[in-house]
Every structure is written in C-alpha cells, then in structure tokens.
Amino acid sequence: MAEMGSKGVTAGKIASNVQKKLTRAQEKVLQKLGKADETKDEQFEQCVQNFNKQLTEGTRLQKDLRTYLTSVKAMHEASKKLNECLQEVYEPDWPGRDEANKIAENNDLLWMDYHQKLVDQALLTMDTYLGQFPDIKSRIAKRGRKLVDYDSARHHYESLQTAKKKDEAKIAKPVSLLEKAAPQWCQGKLQAHLVAQTNLLRNQAEEELIKAQKVFEEMNVDLQEELPSLWNSRVGFYVNTFQSIAGLEENFHKEMSKLNQNLNDVLVSLEKQHGSNTFTVKAQPSDNAPAKGNKSPSPPDGSPAATPEIRVNHEPEPAGGATPGATLPKSPSQPAEASEVAGGTQPAAGAQEPGETAASEAASSSLPAVVVETFPATVNGTVEGGSGAGRLDLPPGFMFKVQAQHDYTATDTDELQLKAGDVVLVIPFQNPEEQDEGWLMGVKESDWNQHKELEKCRGVFPENFTERVP
C-alpha cells in the first residue's frame, strides 16, 4: 500500500509537471504570436546581460590561467633537465661542483614553490569565484519559467473575468431548455449549481494567480539584489587576481636572478682556474663551417700569402770573430721561431747539404755577419710565431699586417667585410681548432684605432683576398 501511495504521488507529480510544461509552451507561443502580452523588466534584463558577460570573462580568465600554469610546469621540467645535464657534465675535480649542485636544487625548489603559490593564490580563488555562477544561472532560468507561469495565470484569470457575462448567458440558456423537461423546483437548483461552478473556477484562477505572482516576486527580488552586487564585485576580484600573479612572478624572478648570478660566479671561477689551454670551448657552428675554405679563389703561385718574407739585417761582427757554423745572437726584434745563421744560409740550422758546408764556412770568413729574419709563415692556415705581441698600440697577439687586394662581402656574422686597400691586423685564433684552412683571424686597423675593442671588431677573412705588408 505504501508503495502504491508513493507511486501515486510520483505519477501525480509527473502529470503536474507535464501540464505545467504544456501550459508554458502554449503561453510562449501566444506571446510570440502577439496574442498575449508578456511581462517585461528592462532593468533585470540588463542585469542578466551583465551576468552573462561576467561569466564569459571569468571562464576565459580561468582557461588562460590554467594555460599559464601548464607553461610554468613545462618550464620547470625544462629547467630541471637542463640543470641535470649541467650536473652530469660537471666533472668531480672541477671547482664549485657542490655549489652548482646546490644551485640546481634551489632552482628546482623555487619553481615548485612558484607553481604552488600560483595555484593557491590565483587558481583556487578563480575556482571559488566562478563556483557561484551555476547556481545563479539556474535561478535566473527558474525565474524565467515562473514569469511564464505568472503571465499564464494572469491571462487565465483575465479571460474568466471577461467572459463572466457570457457565462451567465450560457447558464440561462440551458435553464430555458429545461423548463419543458424538468419540474419547476429543479430549475432553480440547476441554475444555482452552474453559477456556483463558474464562481469556483474564477476563485481557483485567482488563487493560482496570487500564488504564481508571489513565487515569481520572491525570486525576482532576490536576483535583483544579487546580480548588481555580483557585477560590481568583478573589479576587486580582477585587481586581486592580477596583483597576486604579478607579485608572485616578481618575487620568483628576483630569487631566480640571484641563483643565476651565483651560477655565473661558479662558472667564472671555473674558467679562471682552467685556462684556454686546458679547458677549451668548442667553436660555434658559424665559426667552423666547412664551406668557408671553398668560397675564395685559390691564391696565385708565389703570392705573399703563400711565401714567407725574408728580411736581412746587417749587424757588426761580434767581438773575437765568428766561428764558422756558429749561431749568432738574436736581434731584439727577431721572433722566437726565426733561425739565425751566418752568410745567408737556409732558415733552419742543419738543413744544409754536406757539400754546401765548406762554401758556407768560406763565405763566413770573407763576408760580414748577417741575421736572417723570417716572418711568420702560414702552415695549413695557422700562423706560427708572432711579433709585436707586447706593443701597446697593437691588439694582443698581433702577428703581422695584410692589405685587401679585392673586395670581400661577409656572409656570416663572424666574418670581416673588406674593401680593396683595407689594412688588417692579423691575430691568432683563441682556439686553434676553430681555424679553417685558408682563413685568418684579424681586426681592421681603422676599427682597432677607433675602438680598441677586440671582441667587437675582430673576425675571420679569406687569406687569398689579401697580401702581406711590412
């Protein structure tokens, strides 16, 4: 019995809901056709428009914030892997290994703290802010349905009031027909019954109208108060959200900057203790491009770029006479690699044939002593030896000068742009492995005299576009 009662209540409720939906649908059709008026509230409609706009903006902000957090997480992972790579390549005997590992740990903790604070102070606040919109949205929709019920009840009651006289006429007409068929004492009772039934319908319609109006007005009043307040709260929410994000990001970058500075100090210390001779940095791809040796034409035979220059300095014969085959003292300007022999012999001692030794010794007794100074020669594009390295008016490591014989257009950022007649001060490569065959490192004399900055002015150029000058 209880189950049947429960089923009966459920069935009755379903039937009532179906009847309400049919009545609302009929009322909306009549309103669209213009056969029934619709209650309008322009102020409330404006509030609903503001509500929808606020919901759209908040949803977009939430989506973009989640994307930002995803990017932060990705950057955290990338930074973590980069630090792990540094820890792997940092050899145990290098100074600052423990400091570098500690910096990597702090870097990881800083990223985690930054992400968590963004979640706590921005994302959760955003979720709480948007959490109130679904309930208000459903109440707005329910208010719209109750407004249709109110209009339907109002129209029904008005139609009953308008048809009151017609109903009385309809009641009188059946009485006149019953006068012939019913006794006179029954006619009065039948008329009274019909009048009472009509009054009952009007009373029920009035009660339904009052009830529908009360439900609608209660919901309408609540929303009229909440929607403007929610619309005005958006300003403070946006300010707090973006202030939190900006403040967290500012503090994060400050702390990250300190860690980066500490890591830079560790690497500078490593560089100082391991010079370029033992701790070399591989060349950049633009420096060791294999095509550079094939861009310039081959130098002609016997050109200065291929033949070392020889300068003979006459010097007085040393006191006590020169012993045949003995090595003479070096000239102050003579490079360390220059060979010193008497009588214009070959640059390298011991390179003479056995048959030439007697002639050399005879010449040394009759001719004045000379010093043969050979300028540095290029072997496979690498300049050996150097002079003027200690002069203050020339770049460090200066070896010799060359003059451009043809215009050369640079094709990379590390190359020099040359015009015919430009004088270039040739300097050695910091890392000999970076030098390609047929290329030299240097700085244009005009740029050096003007700036005195080697790092900004130096570059590589093809050797066969130039000719060596004294």
Predicted confidence (pLDDT) per residue in 50-63, tens digit = 999 999 999 999 99
Is the predicted pLDDT of residue 348 greater than 80, yes or no?
no
How far is 264 from 378, CA to CA, in rounded Å? 38
Instruction: Classify residue 151 by burial, with Cβ atoms within 10 Å: 0-12, 13-18, 19+.
Output: buried
H or E element at residue 209 = helix 184-273
* Pairing, β 370-374 against β 378-379: unpaired
Tell me which DSSP letter residue 413 carries.
T
Cα 222 off chain centre by: 46
How far is 99 from 340, CA to CA, in rounded Å? 53
254-to-73, 110, 114, 248, 359 alpha-carbon distances in Å: 19, 11, 12, 10, 79
Is the predicted pLDDT of residue 317 greater than 80, yes or no?
no
Write out pLDDT tens, residues 412-465.
888 988 999 999 999 998 888 888 888 999 999 998 888 888 888 889 999 999
How far is 447 from 416, CA to CA, in rounded Å? 11
- How far is it between the farthest Cα atoms of the chain? 179
Q: Return phi, psi of residue 247, to 5°.
A: -65, -45
H or E element at residue 31 = helix 2-32
How far is 79 from 97, CA to CA, in rounded Å? 18
- Residue 369's pLDDT band (boundaries 50, 70, 90)? very low
How far is 5 from 139, CA to CA, in rounded Å? 31
Looking up tokens 């003059």 gives 403
Which tokens go with 123? 């994302």
Which tokens go with 432? 């000999």
According to the model, what pLDDT value does residue 40 have? 78
50 neighbors 43 (Cβ within 8 angstroms)? no
Beta bridge partners of 372: 312
Three-state secondary-structure class, residue 460: strand
- Residue 108's pLDDT band (boundaries 50, 70, 90)? very high
According to the model, what pLDDT value does residue 184 have? 56
Could you tell me which of 443, 438, 465 has the C-alpha nearest to residue 397? 443
Which residues, other chains included, contact 259 with Cβ-Cβ below 8 Å and sequence gap of 6+?
Answer: 103, 106, 107, 110
According to the model, what pLDDT value does residue 39 have? 75
440 neighbors 397 (Cβ within 8 angstroms)? no
Identify the residue with better confidence: 193 or 47.
47
The segment with the largest mean pLDDT, out of 31-40, 151-160, 381-390, is: 151-160
Beta bridge partners of 462: 439
Q: What is the mean pLDDT of residues 332-359?
A: 42
Cα 111 off chain centre by: 16
Residues belonging to the chain = 470
Q: What is the mean pLDDT of residues 207-231?
A: 88
Which tokens go with 385? 């030896």
434 neighbors 266 (Cβ within 8 angstroms)? no
282 neighbors 430 (Cβ within 8 angstroms)? no
Looking up tokens 């973009």 gives 64
According to the model, what pLDDT value does residue 148 have? 84
* Domains within the chain, CATH numbers bracketed: 23-273 (1.20.1270.60), 309-317+334-344+361-374 (no CATH), 382-469 (2.30.30.40)
Tell me which DSSP letter residue 426 carries.
E
Mean pLDDT of the chain: 74
Which tokens go with 176? 């006149």
Three-state secondary-structure class, residue 19: helix
Identify the residue with better confidence: 417 or 366.
417
Q: What is the mean pLDDT of residues 77-102?
A: 92
User: How many CA atoms, within 13 angstroms, populate the side-chain half-sphere of residue 121?
Assistant: 17
Q: What is the mean pLDDT of residues 207-236?
A: 88
Is the predicted pLDDT of residue 43 greater than 80, yes or no?
yes
